[in-house]
């Protein structure tokens, strides 16, 4: 958009960004936030406290990587996105962010990670109590699926979208990964099991986000396969970077409690490989992800930019 942004040299992506990726991510984050503002029940609607808790956990914070993945994947698959497709993408972006936010609420509960801080403010159960936090998370799952039912695209695509999201967050997806994580305390996992756990816990929703973008624009199987390779690599890279940041970044920078994996004696990429090798692994996964976007040509720029952002982030 601005002349100086054609190539700012800050990213090692394969094609120059037309808009600096940080700006693009910020714009998408604002977009999904304003969409959530509109779609979520107001805090003046009963039950007031439940709706306040849902908004507390969903709006105004977060990197919105999953929402960006929806948009970036759709753009990679199709040059122009008409109004209906854009509306459907907003719903998908809001859905994956709602699901992510619900998983964070439940993850922070005393019986899980017992964390008091999230996204730079009090965790939902600290602000609203455990029971209300539990219910807020429970109510956010159906909100995501309800949004799907309003997508102005062919019903066959909506059904595919429902299936993709549902499978990615169930017992063999995100919730399954959380269960594996519970059992990992004590540092007994090897690298292969750790990768499988993260593929489920974090990778599956990220991969589903990319697939949702592709489904909504009706992309074919070759494009969807490239997106799968990309998103699984970037999902794992995301987690490796998380593990590194947990030991190298302070809490105020992360917006959540730092060092908690060490305290909980959890298996992490840092505990298995050390900081240097974990950082090298993240770079290698970044390369795999970017290679998978080559076939999209210039339209894959935001996928590559997201990959850069995820590996270079400091929070």
Q: Specify the residue, 153 or 258, whose C-beta has the smaller distance to its own copies.
A: 153
With CB under 8 A as the contact rule, the residue among 6, 10, 182, 280 that binds its own copies is 182
Contact between 47 and its own copies (CB under 8 A)?
yes
CA distance 52 to 37: 12
Cα 83 to chain center, whole Å?
A: 24
Gyration radius from the chain CA atoms? 19
CB 151 within 8 A of CB 87: yes
| DSSP letters spanning 100-162 | HHHHHHHHHSTTTT--SEETTEE-HHHHH-HHHHHHHHHHHHHHHHHHHTT-SS-HHHHHHHH
Q: Specify the residue, 92 or 270, whose C-beta has the smaller distance to its own copies.
A: 92
With CB under 8 A as the contact rule, the residue among 46, 79, 80, 190 that binds its own copies is 46
Least CB distance from residue 164 to its own copies, whole Å?
9
Q: Specify the residue, 22 or 196, whose C-beta has the smaller distance to its own copies.
A: 196
Q: Which residues, 8 to 37, sit near its own copies by CB under 8 A?
A: none
Contact between 112 and its own copies (CB under 8 A)?
yes
Least CB distance from residue 187 to its own copies, whole Å?
18
Contact between 205 and its own copies (CB under 8 A)?
no
For residue 256, whether the previous peptide bond is cis, meaning omega lies within 30 degrees of 0, is no
With CB under 8 A as the contact rule, the residue among 30, 34, 37, 172 that binds its own copies is 172
Q: Which residues, 128 to 157, sit near its own copies by CB under 8 A?
A: 129-132, 134-139, 141-143, 145-146, 148-150, 154-156
Least CB distance from residue 4 to its own copies, whole Å?
45
Contact between 179 and its own copies (CB under 8 A)?
yes
For residue 47, whether the previous peptide bond is cis, meaning omega lies within 30 degrees of 0, is yes
| Interface stretch with its own copies, choices 73-81, 103-111, 254-262, 272-280 (CB under 8 A) | 103-111
Q: Which residues, 215 to 254, sit near its own copies by CB under 8 A?
A: none
**Residue 109: is it exposed, middle or buried by C-beta count within 10 angstroms (0-12/13-18/19+)?**
middle
Cα 54 to chain center, whole Å?
A: 18
Q: Specify the residue, 181 or 308, whose C-beta has the smaller distance to its own copies.
A: 181
Q: Specify the residue, 51 or 64, whose C-beta has the smaller distance to its own copies.
A: 51
CA distance 217 to 223: 11
Could you tell me how many residues of this chain bind its own copies (CB under 8 A)?
Answer: 55
Residue whose entry in the numeric block shows the structure tokens 């993945």: 69
CA distance 41 to 47: 10
Among candidates 151, 143, 120, which has minimal Cα distance to 54?
143
Residues of the shown chain interacting with its own copies in the complex, contacts defined by CB under 8 A = 41, 45-47, 49-51, 54, 103, 106, 109-112, 129-132, 134-139, 141-143, 145-146, 148-150, 154-156, 158-160, 162-163, 165-167, 169-173, 175-176, 178-180, 182-183
């Amino acid at each position: 958009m601005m002349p100086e942004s054609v190539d700012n040299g800050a990213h090692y992506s394969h094609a120059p960004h037309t808009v600096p990726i940080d700006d693009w991510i910020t714009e998408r984050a604002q977009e999904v936030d304003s969409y959530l503002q509109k779609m979520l029940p107001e805090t003046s609607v009963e039950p007031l406290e439940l709706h306040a808790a849902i908004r507390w956990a969903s709006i105004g914070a977060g990197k919105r990587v999953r929402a960006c993945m929806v948009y970036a994947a759709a753009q990679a698959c199709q040059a122009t996105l008409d109004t209906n497709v854009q509306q459907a993408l907003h719903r998908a972006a809001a859905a994956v962010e709602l699901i992510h936010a619900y998983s964070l609420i439940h993850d922070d509960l005393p019986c899980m990670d017992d964390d008091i801080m999230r996204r730079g403010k009090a965790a939902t159960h600290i602000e609203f109590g455990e029971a209300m936090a539990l219910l807020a998370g429970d109510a956010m799952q159906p909100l995501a699926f309800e949004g799907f039912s309003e997508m102005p695209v062919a019903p066959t695509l909506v059904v595919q979208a429902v299936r993709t999201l549902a499978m990615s967050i169930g017992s063999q997806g995100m919730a399954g990964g959380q269960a594996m994580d519970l059992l990992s305390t004590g540092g007994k996992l090897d690298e292969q099991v750790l990768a499988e756990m993260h593929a489920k816990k974090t990778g599956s929703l990220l991969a589903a986000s990319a697939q949702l973008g592709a489904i909504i624009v009706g992309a074919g199987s070759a494009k969807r396969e490239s997106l799968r390779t990309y998103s699984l690599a970037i999902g794992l890279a995301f987690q490796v970077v998380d593990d590194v940041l947990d030991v190298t970044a302070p809490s105020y920078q992360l917006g959540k409690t730092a060092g908690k994996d060490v305290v909980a004696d959890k298996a992490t990429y840092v505990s298995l490989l050390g900081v240097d090798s974990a950082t090298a692994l993240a770079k290698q996964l970044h390369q795999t992800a970017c290679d998978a976007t080559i076939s999209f040509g210039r339209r894959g720029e935001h996928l590559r930019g997201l990959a850069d952002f995820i590996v270079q982030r400091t929070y």
